[in-house]
Amino acid sequence: MSQRPNFVNGLKCRLCGKMHGQQALNFCPDDFGPLEVDYNYEAMKGQVTRESILAGPASMWRYAPLLPLAGDPTVGLQVGYTPLVKASRLAKALGVKELYIKNDAVNHPTLSFKDRVVAVALSKAVELGFKTVGCASTGNLAGSVAANAAAAGLEAYILIPDNLEQGKVLGATVYGANVVAVTGNYDQVNRLCSEIAFKFGWGFVNVNLRPFYAEGSKSMGFEIAEQLGWRTPGAVVAPMAGGSLIGKIHKSFKEFEMLGLLDGPVKTRMFGAQATGCNPISNTVKTNSNKVKPVRNPDTIAKSLAIGDPADGYFASQLIRSTGGWSEDVNDDEIVDGMRLLAETEGIWAETAGGVTLAVARKLIEQGHLHRDESIVLAITGNGLKTQEALIDRIAKPQVIRPTLDDFKSLLAAMNNQHSQEAGQVMAGAGV
Ligand SMILES: Cc1ncc(COP(=O)(O)O)c(C=O)c1O
Protein backbone atom coordinates (compact mmCIF):
# COMPACT_ATOMS: atom_id res chain seq x y z
CA MET A 1 0.00 0.00 0.00
CA SER A 2 1.56 3.29 -1.05
CA GLN A 3 1.47 6.26 1.30
CA ARG A 4 0.14 9.55 -0.01
CA PRO A 5 -0.64 12.87 1.66
CA ASN A 6 -3.24 12.11 4.30
CA PHE A 7 -5.63 14.90 5.16
CA VAL A 8 -7.76 13.06 7.75
CA ASN A 9 -7.68 14.46 11.29
CA GLY A 10 -9.74 11.62 12.72
CA LEU A 11 -13.36 10.89 13.62
CA LYS A 12 -15.34 13.74 15.14
CA CYS A 13 -18.52 13.42 17.20
CA ARG A 14 -21.36 15.29 15.49
CA LEU A 15 -22.87 16.14 18.89
CA CYS A 16 -20.02 17.06 21.27
CA GLY A 17 -17.22 17.62 18.72
CA LYS A 18 -14.75 15.32 20.51
CA MET A 19 -12.10 13.77 18.24
CA HIS A 20 -11.36 10.06 18.05
CA GLY A 21 -8.69 8.12 16.14
CA GLN A 22 -9.36 6.30 12.86
CA GLN A 23 -10.89 2.98 13.93
CA ALA A 24 -13.97 0.84 13.34
CA LEU A 25 -16.30 2.90 15.52
CA ASN A 26 -19.49 4.71 14.58
CA PHE A 27 -20.53 6.41 17.82
CA CYS A 28 -18.89 8.61 20.43
CA PRO A 29 -18.34 6.60 23.64
CA ASP A 30 -19.07 9.79 25.67
CA ASP A 31 -22.54 10.70 24.39
CA PHE A 32 -23.34 8.09 21.68
CA GLY A 33 -23.34 10.85 19.02
CA PRO A 34 -22.58 9.70 15.44
CA LEU A 35 -18.97 10.04 14.29
CA GLU A 36 -17.95 11.74 11.06
CA VAL A 37 -14.60 11.91 9.27
CA ASP A 38 -12.87 15.25 9.89
CA TYR A 39 -10.32 16.64 7.38
CA ASN A 40 -7.57 19.25 7.42
CA TYR A 41 -8.81 21.46 4.56
CA GLU A 42 -6.07 24.04 5.10
CA ALA A 43 -3.45 21.40 4.28
CA MET A 44 -5.42 20.40 1.13
CA LYS A 45 -5.44 23.92 -0.30
CA GLY A 46 -3.15 24.19 -3.32
CA GLN A 47 -2.67 20.41 -3.36
CA VAL A 48 -6.20 19.43 -4.38
CA THR A 49 -6.84 21.46 -7.53
CA ARG A 50 -8.94 21.19 -10.67
CA GLU A 51 -5.78 20.07 -12.48
CA SER A 52 -4.95 17.36 -9.92
CA ILE A 53 -8.51 16.05 -10.17
CA LEU A 54 -8.55 16.12 -13.98
CA ALA A 55 -5.28 14.18 -14.01
CA GLY A 56 -6.86 11.41 -11.90
CA PRO A 57 -8.58 8.21 -13.04
CA ALA A 58 -12.08 8.22 -14.62
CA SER A 59 -13.56 6.86 -11.41
CA MET A 60 -14.56 8.16 -7.97
CA TRP A 61 -10.89 7.86 -6.99
CA ARG A 62 -10.04 11.08 -8.84
CA TYR A 63 -11.25 12.65 -5.55
CA ALA A 64 -9.14 10.31 -3.37
CA PRO A 65 -7.60 13.08 -1.20
CA LEU A 66 -11.15 13.96 -0.10
CA LEU A 67 -11.90 10.38 0.89
CA PRO A 68 -10.72 8.76 4.15
CA LEU A 69 -8.05 6.26 3.10
CA ALA A 70 -4.46 6.26 4.32
CA GLY A 71 -3.12 4.61 1.16
CA ASP A 72 -4.32 3.78 -2.33
CA PRO A 73 -7.77 2.16 -2.63
CA THR A 74 -7.77 -1.63 -2.89
CA VAL A 75 -11.47 -2.30 -3.48
CA GLY A 76 -13.81 -0.92 -6.14
CA LEU A 77 -11.19 0.70 -8.35
CA GLN A 78 -13.63 1.22 -11.24
CA VAL A 79 -16.52 2.68 -9.23
CA GLY A 80 -18.09 6.01 -10.15
CA TYR A 81 -17.69 8.71 -12.77
CA THR A 82 -21.16 7.85 -14.02
CA PRO A 83 -22.88 10.02 -16.65
CA LEU A 84 -24.60 13.31 -15.86
CA VAL A 85 -27.28 13.25 -18.54
CA LYS A 86 -28.86 16.49 -19.80
CA ALA A 87 -32.48 15.36 -19.71
CA SER A 88 -34.16 17.63 -22.27
CA ARG A 89 -37.15 15.43 -23.08
CA LEU A 90 -37.92 14.87 -19.41
CA ALA A 91 -37.44 18.60 -18.76
CA LYS A 92 -40.07 19.33 -21.42
CA ALA A 93 -42.47 16.79 -19.91
CA LEU A 94 -42.05 18.36 -16.46
CA GLY A 95 -42.10 21.94 -17.73
CA VAL A 96 -38.65 22.95 -16.46
CA LYS A 97 -35.74 24.63 -18.22
CA GLU A 98 -32.57 22.82 -17.17
CA LEU A 99 -32.70 19.27 -15.86
CA TYR A 100 -29.99 16.63 -15.37
CA ILE A 101 -30.01 12.99 -14.34
CA LYS A 102 -27.01 11.80 -12.34
CA ASN A 103 -27.21 8.23 -13.54
CA ASP A 104 -25.89 5.80 -10.94
CA ALA A 105 -28.22 3.14 -12.36
CA VAL A 106 -25.16 2.27 -14.49
CA ASN A 107 -22.58 2.40 -11.71
CA HIS A 108 -19.99 -0.37 -11.64
CA PRO A 109 -20.03 -3.20 -10.58
CA THR A 110 -23.57 -3.57 -9.15
CA LEU A 111 -25.67 -0.84 -10.76
CA SER A 112 -26.29 1.42 -7.78
CA PHE A 113 -24.70 4.31 -5.90
CA LYS A 114 -23.93 1.87 -3.09
CA ASP A 115 -20.79 0.82 -4.97
CA ARG A 116 -19.37 4.22 -3.95
CA VAL A 117 -19.84 3.75 -0.21
CA VAL A 118 -18.74 0.13 -0.36
CA ALA A 119 -15.54 0.95 -2.27
CA VAL A 120 -14.49 3.28 0.55
CA ALA A 121 -15.71 1.07 3.41
CA LEU A 122 -14.07 -2.13 2.15
CA SER A 123 -10.81 -0.37 1.21
CA LYS A 124 -10.81 0.96 4.79
CA ALA A 125 -11.68 -2.50 6.13
CA VAL A 126 -8.59 -3.88 4.36
CA GLU A 127 -6.46 -1.05 5.81
CA LEU A 128 -7.76 -1.82 9.31
CA GLY A 129 -6.97 -5.52 8.85
CA PHE A 130 -10.50 -7.00 8.64
CA LYS A 131 -10.83 -10.36 6.88
CA THR A 132 -14.61 -10.64 7.43
CA VAL A 133 -17.04 -7.90 6.49
CA GLY A 134 -20.78 -7.47 6.33
CA CYS A 135 -23.78 -5.17 6.17
CA ALA A 136 -27.43 -4.67 6.98
CA SER A 137 -29.15 -3.95 3.69
CA THR A 138 -32.41 -2.96 2.03
CA GLY A 139 -31.08 -4.61 -1.14
CA ASN A 140 -28.56 -2.58 -3.10
CA LEU A 141 -25.93 -2.59 -0.39
CA ALA A 142 -26.25 -6.38 -0.17
CA GLY A 143 -25.23 -6.84 -3.80
CA SER A 144 -22.48 -4.27 -3.63
CA VAL A 145 -20.85 -5.67 -0.48
CA ALA A 146 -21.17 -9.22 -1.84
CA ALA A 147 -19.60 -8.37 -5.22
CA ASN A 148 -16.84 -6.11 -3.97
CA ALA A 149 -15.96 -8.48 -1.10
CA ALA A 150 -15.76 -11.37 -3.57
CA ALA A 151 -13.39 -9.42 -5.80
CA ALA A 152 -11.27 -8.46 -2.79
CA GLY A 153 -11.18 -12.00 -1.35
CA LEU A 154 -13.02 -11.02 1.83
CA GLU A 155 -15.56 -13.20 3.64
CA ALA A 156 -18.96 -11.46 3.67
CA TYR A 157 -22.07 -11.77 5.85
CA ILE A 158 -25.06 -9.99 4.39
CA LEU A 159 -28.23 -9.54 6.42
CA ILE A 160 -31.47 -8.49 4.71
CA PRO A 161 -35.19 -8.35 5.53
CA ASP A 162 -36.88 -11.51 4.22
CA ASN A 163 -39.25 -9.64 1.85
CA LEU A 164 -36.79 -8.20 -0.69
CA GLU A 165 -37.12 -8.35 -4.47
CA GLN A 166 -35.72 -11.43 -6.17
CA GLY A 167 -33.25 -9.39 -8.22
CA LYS A 168 -31.75 -7.96 -5.04
CA VAL A 169 -31.50 -11.35 -3.35
CA LEU A 170 -30.00 -13.12 -6.38
CA GLY A 171 -27.79 -10.10 -6.92
CA ALA A 172 -26.15 -10.84 -3.57
CA THR A 173 -26.16 -14.64 -3.37
CA VAL A 174 -24.59 -15.04 -6.82
CA TYR A 175 -21.29 -13.71 -5.48
CA GLY A 176 -21.02 -16.52 -2.92
CA ALA A 177 -21.58 -14.31 0.12
CA ASN A 178 -23.27 -15.64 3.26
CA VAL A 179 -26.71 -14.08 2.76
CA VAL A 180 -29.06 -14.27 5.74
CA ALA A 181 -32.74 -13.26 5.42
CA VAL A 182 -34.22 -12.08 8.71
CA THR A 183 -37.93 -12.23 9.51
CA GLY A 184 -38.29 -8.57 10.32
CA ASN A 185 -37.93 -5.09 8.89
CA TYR A 186 -34.70 -3.24 8.13
CA ASP A 187 -34.48 -1.61 11.55
CA GLN A 188 -34.56 -5.03 13.21
CA VAL A 189 -31.92 -6.31 10.78
CA ASN A 190 -29.76 -3.27 11.54
CA ARG A 191 -29.95 -3.77 15.31
CA LEU A 192 -28.95 -7.42 14.90
CA CYS A 193 -25.99 -6.38 12.72
CA SER A 194 -24.75 -3.99 15.43
CA GLU A 195 -24.72 -6.88 17.89
CA ILE A 196 -22.96 -9.19 15.41
CA ALA A 197 -20.31 -6.62 14.39
CA PHE A 198 -19.24 -5.92 17.97
CA LYS A 199 -19.62 -9.54 19.20
CA PHE A 200 -17.54 -11.08 16.39
CA GLY A 201 -15.23 -8.14 15.70
CA TRP A 202 -16.17 -8.01 11.99
CA GLY A 203 -16.19 -4.92 9.80
CA PHE A 204 -19.81 -4.08 9.03
CA VAL A 205 -19.78 -1.35 6.42
CA ASN A 206 -22.84 0.53 7.66
CA VAL A 207 -22.35 -0.23 11.36
CA ASN A 208 -18.84 0.12 12.83
CA LEU A 209 -17.33 1.29 9.49
CA ARG A 210 -20.18 3.75 8.87
CA PRO A 211 -18.17 7.00 9.22
CA PHE A 212 -15.84 5.88 6.38
CA TYR A 213 -18.61 4.23 4.35
CA ALA A 214 -20.80 7.34 4.37
CA GLU A 215 -17.99 9.49 2.94
CA GLY A 216 -18.14 7.48 -0.30
CA SER A 217 -21.43 9.18 -1.19
CA LYS A 218 -19.60 12.51 -1.50
CA SER A 219 -18.14 11.29 -4.77
CA MET A 220 -21.59 11.55 -6.36
CA GLY A 221 -21.65 15.26 -5.50
CA PHE A 222 -18.05 15.88 -6.59
CA GLU A 223 -18.90 14.38 -9.96
CA ILE A 224 -22.06 16.48 -10.34
CA ALA A 225 -20.12 19.70 -9.68
CA GLU A 226 -17.24 18.77 -11.98
CA GLN A 227 -19.56 17.55 -14.76
CA LEU A 228 -21.56 20.79 -14.59
CA GLY A 229 -18.31 22.65 -15.33
CA TRP A 230 -17.19 23.36 -11.75
CA ARG A 231 -20.49 24.79 -10.55
CA THR A 232 -23.27 23.44 -8.39
CA PRO A 233 -26.91 23.27 -9.48
CA GLY A 234 -29.78 25.36 -8.15
CA ALA A 235 -31.41 22.26 -6.70
CA VAL A 236 -30.71 18.57 -6.10
CA VAL A 237 -33.46 16.01 -5.51
CA ALA A 238 -32.13 12.93 -3.73
CA PRO A 239 -33.85 9.80 -2.45
CA MET A 240 -33.59 9.24 1.30
CA ALA A 241 -33.52 6.02 3.31
CA GLY A 242 -31.08 6.41 6.20
CA GLY A 243 -30.71 10.05 5.14
CA SER A 244 -26.95 9.95 4.55
CA LEU A 245 -26.60 10.44 0.77
CA ILE A 246 -28.39 13.81 0.66
CA GLY A 247 -26.11 15.24 3.35
CA LYS A 248 -22.95 13.95 1.71
CA ILE A 249 -23.84 15.44 -1.68
CA HIS A 250 -24.14 18.82 -0.02
CA LYS A 251 -20.96 18.27 2.02
CA SER A 252 -19.08 17.57 -1.21
CA PHE A 253 -20.26 20.88 -2.73
CA LYS A 254 -19.10 22.77 0.37
CA GLU A 255 -15.72 21.02 0.29
CA PHE A 256 -15.17 22.02 -3.34
CA GLU A 257 -16.18 25.57 -2.41
CA MET A 258 -13.75 25.63 0.54
CA LEU A 259 -10.93 24.51 -1.73
CA GLY A 260 -11.72 27.23 -4.26
CA LEU A 261 -12.62 24.73 -7.00
CA LEU A 262 -16.00 26.25 -7.96
CA ASP A 263 -16.84 29.21 -10.18
CA GLY A 264 -19.32 30.60 -7.67
CA PRO A 265 -20.67 30.09 -4.15
CA VAL A 266 -22.82 27.07 -3.31
CA LYS A 267 -26.47 28.11 -3.30
CA THR A 268 -27.89 24.66 -3.96
CA ARG A 269 -31.18 23.87 -2.26
CA MET A 270 -31.45 20.23 -1.20
CA PHE A 271 -34.72 18.31 -1.69
CA GLY A 272 -35.37 14.92 -0.14
CA ALA A 273 -37.56 12.22 -1.68
CA GLN A 274 -39.31 9.40 0.18
CA ALA A 275 -42.17 6.96 -0.31
CA THR A 276 -45.38 7.76 1.55
CA GLY A 277 -45.32 4.24 2.99
CA CYS A 278 -42.04 5.05 4.75
CA ASN A 279 -41.65 8.80 5.14
CA PRO A 280 -40.05 9.56 8.52
CA ILE A 281 -37.76 12.29 7.14
CA SER A 282 -40.19 13.98 4.73
CA ASN A 283 -42.77 13.97 7.51
CA THR A 284 -40.30 15.70 9.82
CA VAL A 285 -39.68 18.41 7.23
CA LYS A 286 -43.34 18.87 6.30
CA THR A 287 -44.49 19.15 9.90
CA ASN A 288 -41.64 21.50 10.81
CA SER A 289 -40.58 19.17 13.57
CA ASN A 290 -37.13 18.74 15.13
CA LYS A 291 -37.73 15.14 16.03
CA VAL A 292 -37.84 12.26 13.55
CA LYS A 293 -40.77 10.00 14.38
CA PRO A 294 -39.89 6.42 13.29
CA VAL A 295 -42.24 4.55 10.95
CA ARG A 296 -42.80 1.20 12.65
CA ASN A 297 -44.14 -0.80 9.70
CA PRO A 298 -42.85 0.50 6.36
CA ASP A 299 -45.14 -0.41 3.47
CA THR A 300 -43.96 0.62 0.00
CA ILE A 301 -42.76 -0.87 -3.27
CA ALA A 302 -39.62 1.27 -2.82
CA LYS A 303 -38.08 -1.34 -0.55
CA SER A 304 -34.59 0.11 -0.93
CA LEU A 305 -35.82 3.24 0.87
CA ALA A 306 -37.79 1.41 3.55
CA ILE A 307 -35.86 2.47 6.64
CA GLY A 308 -38.34 3.42 9.34
CA ASP A 309 -35.80 4.74 11.85
CA PRO A 310 -33.19 6.58 9.76
CA ALA A 311 -29.74 6.99 11.33
CA ASP A 312 -29.17 10.38 9.68
CA GLY A 313 -32.79 11.50 9.55
CA TYR A 314 -32.34 14.40 11.95
CA PHE A 315 -29.31 15.79 10.07
CA ALA A 316 -31.03 15.34 6.70
CA SER A 317 -34.12 17.26 7.82
CA GLN A 318 -31.98 20.08 9.26
CA LEU A 319 -29.92 20.30 6.06
CA ILE A 320 -33.01 20.43 3.86
CA ARG A 321 -34.38 23.31 5.91
CA SER A 322 -31.09 25.19 6.19
CA THR A 323 -30.56 25.17 2.40
CA GLY A 324 -34.10 26.39 1.70
CA GLY A 325 -35.17 23.04 0.24
CA TRP A 326 -38.14 20.85 1.00
CA SER A 327 -39.18 17.21 1.13
CA GLU A 328 -42.10 15.24 -0.26
CA ASP A 329 -43.28 11.67 -0.51
CA VAL A 330 -45.22 9.71 -3.12
CA ASN A 331 -47.42 6.60 -3.19
CA ASP A 332 -46.84 3.37 -5.11
CA ASP A 333 -48.80 4.43 -8.21
CA GLU A 334 -46.86 7.69 -8.40
CA ILE A 335 -43.59 5.74 -8.03
CA VAL A 336 -44.48 3.51 -10.98
CA ASP A 337 -45.52 6.55 -13.05
CA GLY A 338 -42.14 8.12 -12.22
CA MET A 339 -40.23 5.01 -13.32
CA ARG A 340 -42.16 4.91 -16.59
CA LEU A 341 -41.76 8.59 -17.33
CA LEU A 342 -37.98 8.40 -16.88
CA ALA A 343 -37.78 5.30 -19.08
CA GLU A 344 -40.06 6.72 -21.80
CA THR A 345 -38.42 10.16 -22.00
CA GLU A 346 -34.74 9.45 -21.34
CA GLY A 347 -34.30 5.72 -21.91
CA ILE A 348 -33.19 5.19 -18.33
CA TRP A 349 -34.71 2.31 -16.42
CA ALA A 350 -34.33 3.17 -12.76
CA GLU A 351 -35.40 1.10 -9.80
CA THR A 352 -38.27 2.11 -7.53
CA ALA A 353 -36.07 4.65 -5.67
CA GLY A 354 -35.61 6.46 -9.01
CA GLY A 355 -39.38 6.48 -9.45
CA VAL A 356 -39.64 8.07 -6.00
CA THR A 357 -37.11 10.75 -6.91
CA LEU A 358 -38.77 11.65 -10.19
CA ALA A 359 -42.32 11.57 -8.84
CA VAL A 360 -41.31 13.74 -5.87
CA ALA A 361 -39.57 16.17 -8.24
CA ARG A 362 -42.78 16.40 -10.29
CA LYS A 363 -44.78 17.11 -7.14
CA LEU A 364 -42.29 19.74 -5.95
CA ILE A 365 -42.45 21.49 -9.34
CA GLU A 366 -46.25 21.54 -9.22
CA GLN A 367 -46.15 22.89 -5.65
CA GLY A 368 -43.71 25.62 -6.70
CA HIS A 369 -40.95 24.42 -4.36
CA LEU A 370 -38.71 23.61 -7.34
CA HIS A 371 -38.46 26.56 -9.71
CA ARG A 372 -39.05 26.00 -13.40
CA ASP A 373 -36.13 28.22 -14.43
CA GLU A 374 -33.40 26.83 -12.17
CA SER A 375 -30.93 24.02 -12.86
CA ILE A 376 -32.14 20.81 -11.23
CA VAL A 377 -30.26 17.53 -10.75
CA LEU A 378 -32.11 14.31 -9.97
CA ALA A 379 -30.00 11.68 -8.20
CA ILE A 380 -30.92 8.37 -9.82
CA THR A 381 -29.35 5.80 -7.55
CA GLY A 382 -30.33 2.29 -8.68
CA ASN A 383 -31.26 0.11 -11.66
CA GLY A 384 -34.74 -1.07 -12.70
CA LEU A 385 -33.56 -4.57 -13.56
CA LYS A 386 -33.41 -5.28 -9.83
CA THR A 387 -36.99 -4.26 -9.01
CA GLN A 388 -39.00 -5.88 -11.82
CA GLU A 389 -41.80 -6.86 -9.43
CA ALA A 390 -42.82 -3.20 -9.24
CA LEU A 391 -43.68 -3.07 -12.95
CA ILE A 392 -44.47 -6.58 -14.06
CA ASP A 393 -48.26 -6.35 -13.65
CA ARG A 394 -48.50 -2.65 -14.47
CA ILE A 395 -47.01 -2.56 -17.97
CA ALA A 396 -48.62 -3.69 -21.21
CA LYS A 397 -47.53 -7.16 -22.34
CA PRO A 398 -46.16 -7.51 -25.91
CA GLN A 399 -48.71 -8.26 -28.66
CA VAL A 400 -48.41 -11.82 -29.95
CA ILE A 401 -48.69 -12.58 -33.69
CA ARG A 402 -47.94 -15.50 -35.99
CA PRO A 403 -44.76 -15.15 -38.11
CA THR A 404 -46.56 -13.71 -41.19
CA LEU A 405 -46.54 -10.28 -42.80
CA ASP A 406 -50.36 -10.32 -42.90
CA ASP A 407 -50.54 -10.70 -39.13
CA PHE A 408 -48.09 -7.84 -38.71
CA LYS A 409 -50.05 -5.59 -41.09
CA SER A 410 -53.33 -6.23 -39.22
CA LEU A 411 -51.60 -5.52 -35.92
CA LEU A 412 -50.10 -2.31 -37.30
CA ALA A 413 -53.53 -1.14 -38.50
CA ALA A 414 -55.05 -1.89 -35.10
CA MET A 415 -52.22 -0.05 -33.36
CA ASN A 416 -52.54 3.01 -35.62
CA ASN A 417 -56.27 3.02 -35.04
CA GLN A 418 -55.76 2.94 -31.30
CA HIS A 419 -53.16 5.75 -31.45
CA SER A 420 -55.50 8.02 -33.44
CA GLN A 421 -58.35 7.30 -31.01
CA GLU A 422 -56.09 8.22 -28.10
CA ALA A 423 -54.94 11.40 -29.87
CA GLY A 424 -58.61 12.27 -30.52
CA GLN A 425 -59.43 11.82 -26.84
CA VAL A 426 -56.51 14.09 -25.87
CA MET A 427 -57.68 16.79 -28.37
CA ALA A 428 -61.27 16.52 -27.13
CA GLY A 429 -60.04 16.76 -23.53
CA ALA A 430 -58.08 19.86 -24.42
CA GLY A 431 -61.18 21.38 -26.05
CA VAL A 432 -59.59 21.46 -29.53
C1 LIG B 1 -31.24 2.92 -4.57
C2 LIG B 1 -31.07 3.68 -3.29
N3 LIG B 1 -31.21 5.01 -3.33
C4 LIG B 1 -31.09 5.76 -2.22
C5 LIG B 1 -30.82 5.19 -0.99
C6 LIG B 1 -30.76 6.09 0.22
O7 LIG B 1 -29.52 6.29 0.75
P8 LIG B 1 -29.34 6.82 2.25
O9 LIG B 1 -29.56 5.64 3.15
O10 LIG B 1 -27.93 7.30 2.25
O11 LIG B 1 -30.36 7.90 2.50
C12 LIG B 1 -30.66 3.80 -0.90
C13 LIG B 1 -30.34 3.19 0.39
O14 LIG B 1 -30.34 2.01 0.58
C15 LIG B 1 -30.78 3.02 -2.09
O16 LIG B 1 -30.65 1.70 -2.07
Does 242 sit in the ligand 1 pocket, CB within 6 Å? yes
Ligand 1 centroid–CA 184 distance in Å is 19
Residues 250, 324 contacting (CB under 8 angstroms): no
Does 381 sit in the ligand 1 pocket, CB within 6 Å? yes
Q: What are the φ/ψ torsions at residue 371 (nearest 5 degrees)? A: -90, 140
Does 136 sit in the ligand 1 pocket, CB within 6 Å? no
Mutation test residue for ligand 1: of 220, 236, 305, 360, the one with most atoms within 8 Å of CB = 305
Ligand 1 atom with the smallest distance to the CA of 137 is: 14
Ligand 1 centroid–CA 408 distance in Å is 44
What the chain holds in terms of domains, given with CATH numbers, is 8-77+114-214 (3.40.50.1100), 84-110+217-390 (3.40.50.1100)
Q: At how many degrees (to 10) do helices 114-127 and 140-152 cross?
A: 40
Query: Distance (Å, rounded) from C-alpha 325 to C-alpha 271?
Result: 5
Ligand 1 atom with the smallest distance to the CA of 240 is: 11
Query: Distance (Å, rounded) from C-alpha 217 to C-alpha 228?
Result: 18
Residue 132 pairs in a beta bridge with: 155
Using the 8-state DSSP alphabet, how is residue 258 labeled?
A: H
Ligand 1 centroid–CA 240 distance in Å is 6
Q: Greatest CA separation found in the chain?
A: 78
Does 317 sit in the ligand 1 pocket, CB within 6 Å? no
Ligand 1 atom with the smallest distance to the CA of 139 is: 16
- CB contact set of 385 (below 8 Å; sequence gap of 6+): 111, 167, 349
Q: What residue owns the CA closest to ligand 1's atom 14?
A: 304
Does 82 sit in the ligand 1 pocket, CB within 6 Å? no
Using the 8-state DSSP alphabet, how is residue 34 labeled?
A: B
Does 353 sit in the ligand 1 pocket, CB within 6 Å? yes
Q: What residue owns the CA closest to ligand 1's atom 16?
A: 304
E strands, 97-154, are 98-103, 132-136
Does 268 sit in the ligand 1 pocket, CB within 6 Å? no
Q: Nearest-CA neighbor of 116 among 174, 152, 75, 169?
A: 75
3-class DSSP string for 291-359: CCCCCCCCCCCCHHHCCCCCCCHHHHHHHHHHCCCCEEEECHHHHHHHHHHHHHHHCCCECHHHHHHHH
Three-class DSSP category at 378: strand
- Between CA 52 and CA 59, with CA 58 as vertex, the angle to 5 degrees is 100
Query: Distance (Å, rounded) from C-alpha 49 to C-alpha 344?
Result: 39
Does 352 sit in the ligand 1 pocket, CB within 6 Å? no
pTM listed for this prediction = 0.96
Residue 1's pLDDT is 44
- Between CA 236 and CA 244, with CA 241 as vertex, the angle to 5 degrees is 65
Residue 84 pairs in a beta bridge with: 102
Residues 78, 109 contacting (CB under 8 angstroms): yes
Query: Distance (Å, rounded) from C-alpha 223 to C-alpha 229?
Result: 10
Residues 28, 13 contacting (CB under 8 angstroms): yes
Residue 192's pLDDT is 98
Does 177 sit in the ligand 1 pocket, CB within 6 Å? no
Q: Which amino acid is at 286?
A: K
Exposed, middle or buried by CB within 10 Å (0-12, 13-18, 19+), for 402? exposed
Residues listed for the chain? 432
Does 149 sit in the ligand 1 pocket, CB within 6 Å? no
Residue 430's pLDDT is 67
Parallel, antiparallel or unpaired: strands 19-20 and 327-330: unpaired
Does 282 sit in the ligand 1 pocket, CB within 6 Å? no
Query: Distance (Å, rounded) from C-alpha 364 to C-alpha 359?
Result: 9
Q: What are the φ/ψ torsions at residue 276 (nearest 5 degrees)? A: -60, -30
Q: What is the mean pLDDT of each run of 10 residues along the chain (432 residues)?
A: 75 98 97 97 96 98 98 98 98 98 98 98 98 98 98 98 97 98 97 97 98 98 98 98 98 98 98 98 98 98 98 98 98 98 98 98 98 98 98 94 98 93 76 64
Does 281 sit in the ligand 1 pocket, CB within 6 Å? no
Ligand 1 centroid–CA 45 distance in Å is 31
R_g over Cα of the chain: 22
Ligand 1 atom with the smallest distance to the CA of 245 is: 10
Q: Chain centroid to CA 253: how far?
A: 16
Ligand 1 atom with the smallest distance to the CA of 238 is: 4
